[in-house]
């Protein structure tokens, strides 16, 4: 039979009946679908095993086609090494049965090397057909990546037995791949596997100029579920969300679990508009899915961020980062919603617009204008006992730590001190042994809007402000809230808009608060005159109560806005007075350990 007629017959059997497009659809995602399908169980069966035969002998091709198809294998053919490379790229086979010597410039040895060098979606078991008998040739083939051999003329029973032995190896390799690449709780892809697939999809989208969207999903208030119902309930919620994701994805989509309660979905050939619509459907589907654990019904919602790959997307990781920023915006906006990158950019542009109310408030304000000035920084060679006395004296819950030159090197909080109270010799340990070194630090000139957005986005409660590497202040969420409240009140006074201000306090209320302060002072004085054995707890407790009463007195007085206050606030430039920045070091005339 002539060569063209032989390969037309082979094509009618393998490519016409099954179709190379169908082969491509079946085998392109064979590795990925098994990874992200929950509880996917791989079973190697001959009827879904693809064998690529590479030989230039029509008689051998005809014979192998008859044997393999009768055994239930899917068979495709390539006449030479060049055609085999193209066929492998189009539809990666499970087995490669190749002749040693072939026309076209690529021999069987070189084809084996190409298969081992190329990143393929699955392991390709390679069997060499050869009429050689010398040992050196076998060694060369094994070193090039061949797995097995069979001699020419080919024996049917031997070939099928070797394919069956290879099937066991492929099945074992696939099981190991599933264990390494899939999340044990949901069966979805791990973060590493997702990143590898993302890189391939990103390159494909750039090459063919197709759309690629990314969706980040986070379970709302997941920590509350764990704390209230226990971690087994949280695991059940994660499994249910993973199942809902799998059921609502196409064959070309890819899903992975990237964190404790975070998931990522890649949507190839999907623009942002359709990705947002899909995410909204998914959000409603999750909200409507009943989740029951231990007889209790759990109400679960999710927040989603969506981003599309655009011309400015320089790397695949940036696409995920854009979707993650949208997810954070969705959580800040109240959770249980979807926000796309386009909507997020419009929101950010409006916030930074000087004509916008919020933009006008933040305009021209730097970190030094808002920060709380540091009374003193803790030296790293001071003891834990000295740090505890520092916190008690200044009533601070945290403080920056500096080296001998006053440079910021860490951060210490009351919690850090509490964590080591039961350690041996904890009181004499150095601060440097327990401080945190991953300090978030901003320069005094940093726009306050950047710090505001950062503290809204992360669980960190405060940041350190520095000048030349030396800590000069701290900005916490409370600092920003207090500054923002003062700024809004002062602008209302300047513009005469006071209709939303609370009513002026009753003078009787202020008198009662002042009387309570005096009573606390007299009680403390009497207790001290009686000679207490342990003065510190009594003084600290009374002083704390006095401070709360003083705060109430100041808050009540601030509500009584009068002309005098208006003149004071207006003269300050519509806001609180600026604090001169200075490096706040530990006082030179007293040691830390000497603080009472």
pLDDT block averages, 10 residues each, the chain of length 596 = 39 37 38 37 54 90 91 90 88 90 82 88 88 73 87 88 90 82 91 92 92 96 91 95 95 92 96 96 95 91 95 89 92 90 83 59 82 84 90 81 91 89 87 89 90 79 89 87 73 51 62 84 84 73 78 64 39 36 37 34
Number of domains in the chain: 4
Tokens of 196: 């590898």
At 540 the pLDDT is: 74
Q: Are residues 96 and 67 in the same domain?
A: yes
Record the pTM.
0.53
Residue 584 placed within a domain: no
Tell me: do 312 and 215 sit in the same domain.
yes
Helix residue ranges per DSSP H, 182-258: 191-208, 222-229, 231-247
Question: Residue 496 has what pLDDT?
Answer: 52
Residue 9 lies in domain: 3-181
Are the C-beta atoms of 73 and 65 separated by less than 8 Å? no
> Looking at residue 175, what is its pLDDT?
83
* DSSP H/E element including 107: none
Whether residues 302 and 344 fall in one domain:
yes
Same domain, 21 and 150: yes
Q: Cβ distance 516 to 542 under 8 Å?
A: no
45 plus 104 within the same structural domain: yes
Look up the CATH number of the domain holding residue 302: 3.30.70.270
3-state helix, strand, coil in the chain (%, to 5): 50, 15, 30
CATH number of the domain that 385 lies in? 3.10.580.10
Question: Contact, 236 vs 295, CB < 8 A?
Answer: no
Q: Are 206 and 334 part of one and the same domain?
A: yes
Claim to verify: residue 400 and residue 331 sit in the same structural domain: no
Tell me what pLDDT residue 562 has.
44
Give the whole-angstrom CA distance, residue 550 versus residue 398: 23
Separation CA 292–CA 289 (nearest Å): 10
- What are the DSSP E strand ranges found in 294-392? 296-298, 302-308, 338-340, 372-373, 378-379
Residues 115 and 261: their CA atoms lie apart, in Å, by: 38
> Does residue 341 share a domain with residue 220?
yes
33 in a structural domain: yes
> In this predicted structure, what is the pLDDT of residue 267?
97
The residues that are catalytic are 261
User: What pLDDT score does 488 carry?
Assistant: 67
Compute, in degrees rounded to 10, the torsion defined by CA atoms 44, 47, 53, 57. Answer: 140
Q: Which long-range contacts (CB under 8 A, 24 or more apart) does 284-288 make?
A: 285/244, 285/248, 286/241, 286/244, 287/336
Co-location of 542 and 507 in the same domain: yes
Cα separation values, 305 from 129, 222, 459, Å:
53, 17, 19
Model pLDDT, residue 288: 93
């Amino acid at each position: 039979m002539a060569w063209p007629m032989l390969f037309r017959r082979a094509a009618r059997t393998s490519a016409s009946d099954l179709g190379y497009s169908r082969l491509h659809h079946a085998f392109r995602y064979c590795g990925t679908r098994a990874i992200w399908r929950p509880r996917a169980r791989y079973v190697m069966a001959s009827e879904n095993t693809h064998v690529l035969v590479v030989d230039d002998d029509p008689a051998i091709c005809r014979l192998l086609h008859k044997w393999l198809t009768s055994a239930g294998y899917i068979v495709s053919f390539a006449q030479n090494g060049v055609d085999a490379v193209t066929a492998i790229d189009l539809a990666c086979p499970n087995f490669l049965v190749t002749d040693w010597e072939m026309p076209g410039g690529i021999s069987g040895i070189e084809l084996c090397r190409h298969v081992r060098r190329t990143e393929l979606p699955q392991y390709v078991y390679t069997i060499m057909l050869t009429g050689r008998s010398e040992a050196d040739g076998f060694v060369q083939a094994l070193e090039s990546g061949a797995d097995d051999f069979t001699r020419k003329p080919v024996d049917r029973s031997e070939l099928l037995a070797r394919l069956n032995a290879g099937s066991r190896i492929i099945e074992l390799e696939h099981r190991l791949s599933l264990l390494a690449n899939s999340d044990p709780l949901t069966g979805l892809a791990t973060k590493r596997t997702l990143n590898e697939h993302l890189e391939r999809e990103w390159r494909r989208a750039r090459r063919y100029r197709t759309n690629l969207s990314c969706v980040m999903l986070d379970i709302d208030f997941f920590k509350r579920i764990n704390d209230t119902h226990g971690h087994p309930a949280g695991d059940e919620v994660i499994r249910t969300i993973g199942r809902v994701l799998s059921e609502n994805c196409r064959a070309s989509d890819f899903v992975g679990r990237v964190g404790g309660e975070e998931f990522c979905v890649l949507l190839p050939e999907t623009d942002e508009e359709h990705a947002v619509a899909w995410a909204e459907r998914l959000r409603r589907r999750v909200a409507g899915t009943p989740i029951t654990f231990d007889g209790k019904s759990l109400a679960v919602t999710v927040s989603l961020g969506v981003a599309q790959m655009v011309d400015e997307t320089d790397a695949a990781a940036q696409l995920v980062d854009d979707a993650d920023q949208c997810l954070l915006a969705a959580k800040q906006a109240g959770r249980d919603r979807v926000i796309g990158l386009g909507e997020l950019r419009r929101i950010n542009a409006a916030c930074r617009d000087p004509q916008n109310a919020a933009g006008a408030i933040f305009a021209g304000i730097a970190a030094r204008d808002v920060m709380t000035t540091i009374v003193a920084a803790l030296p790293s060679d001071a003891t834990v006992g000295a740090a505890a006395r520092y916190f008690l004296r200044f009533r601070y819950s945290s403080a920056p730590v500096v080296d001998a030159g006053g440079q910021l090197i860490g951060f210490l909080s009351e919690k850090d001190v509490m964590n080591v109270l039961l350690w041996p010799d904890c009181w004499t340990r150095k601060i440097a042994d327990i401080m945190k070194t991953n300090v978030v630090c901003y320069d005094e000139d940093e726009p306050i809007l950047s710090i505001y957005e950062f503290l809204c986005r992360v669980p960190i409660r405060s940041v350190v402000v520095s000048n030349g590497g030396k800590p000069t202040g701290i900005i916490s969420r409370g600092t920003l809230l207090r500054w923002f409240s003062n700024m809004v009140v002062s602008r209302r006074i300047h513009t005469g808009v006071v209709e939303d201000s609370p009513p002026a306090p009753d003078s009787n209320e202020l008198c009662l608060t002042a009387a309570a302060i005096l009573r606390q002072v007299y009680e403390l004085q009497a207790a001290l005159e009686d000679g207490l054995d342990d003065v510190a707890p009594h003084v600290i407790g009374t002083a704390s109560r006095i401070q709360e009463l003083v705060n109430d007195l100041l808050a009540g007085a601030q509500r009584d806005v009068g002309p005098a206050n208006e003149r004071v606030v207006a003269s300050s430039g519509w806001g609180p007075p600026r604090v001169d920045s200075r490096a706040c070091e530990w006082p030179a005339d007293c040691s830390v350990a000497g603080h009472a």
